[in-house]
Amino acid sequence: MYDLSLKECFFTIREIRGDQKFLLKHVFRVPALEDWVDYHKGASQLGLSKGKDTIEMSNVRQERDQALWEGLIVKVEGYLWKGKPITEQKDWKEKIPLGHKLEAISGFLLSGREDVPEEAALIEVKGFDLAEGGIEMKFAIFQNGTTERVVFHFNAPEASDYLRFSRLTSKMQLQRTKQRNVSAIRVPTDIRPFIELFDKLIQKVEG
């Protein structure tokens, strides 16, 4: 079962050096709503428009993942600095390799759909009954070294819900900057309307 009462969770990464294996634990506090809001806002900038002929695109995923690691990390275990636990150092967060931070936060956030079988496993059924409504979605969510299965049961969305979702995911803004002939291309990313939509449609959760 996925435990919602936990205040902290960990993800363990593996480092291989020659014939040696090191298991390195990263312990995070459980993110609050504002952590998620800030994290998704960090993905809003797509690029810069310079003049009329050039658009410069950029990927800020690593920067925002690093910022999330910095904001959520409580402690690490398994790391040494000159033979002593690295957390004895005041700047221990800075000493953790960036690759380790990104792997740990990626694993901490890991989840995936489990209810989409291969095409060959699908069974054709005649007659799609619209009166039954409802949508069931299964997810595998990683928590403290184990994979937990969680099932979400939703009411079928109305046409207005589809249209609202479409508008939320298709917005784009061209914002002027202080640099001459340079504009920022942004997709406004506020997850709160998506949370409202989730709260409206959800029936129950199992697992």
DSSP string covering 26-64, please? EEEEPPPHHHHHHHHHTT-EEEEEETTTEEEE---HHHH
Is 73 strand, coil or helix? strand
Rounded-to-integer distance, Cα 165 and Cα 168, Å? 5
Q: Is residue 1 part of a domain?
A: no
CA dist., res. 27 & res. 102, Å (int):
14
Q: Tell me, what's the pLDDT at 25?
A: 92
**Which residue range(s) make up the domain with 102?**
8-206
Question: Measured between alpha carbons, how far is 116 from 19 in angstroms, rounded to an integer?
Answer: 39
The two three-digit tokens of residue 144, written as one number? 């403290």
pLDDT tens, N- to C-terminus, the chain (207 residues): 778 888 989 999 888 888 888 999 999 999 988 888 888 775 555 555 555 555 555 556 788 888 899 999 999 999 999 999 999 999 999 999 999 999 999 888 886 666 655 666 667 666 555 566 678 888 888 788 888 888 888 888 888 887 777 777 666 555 555 666 666 666 656 778 888 888 888 888 888
Does any domain span residue 3? no
Count up the domains in the chain and report the number: 1
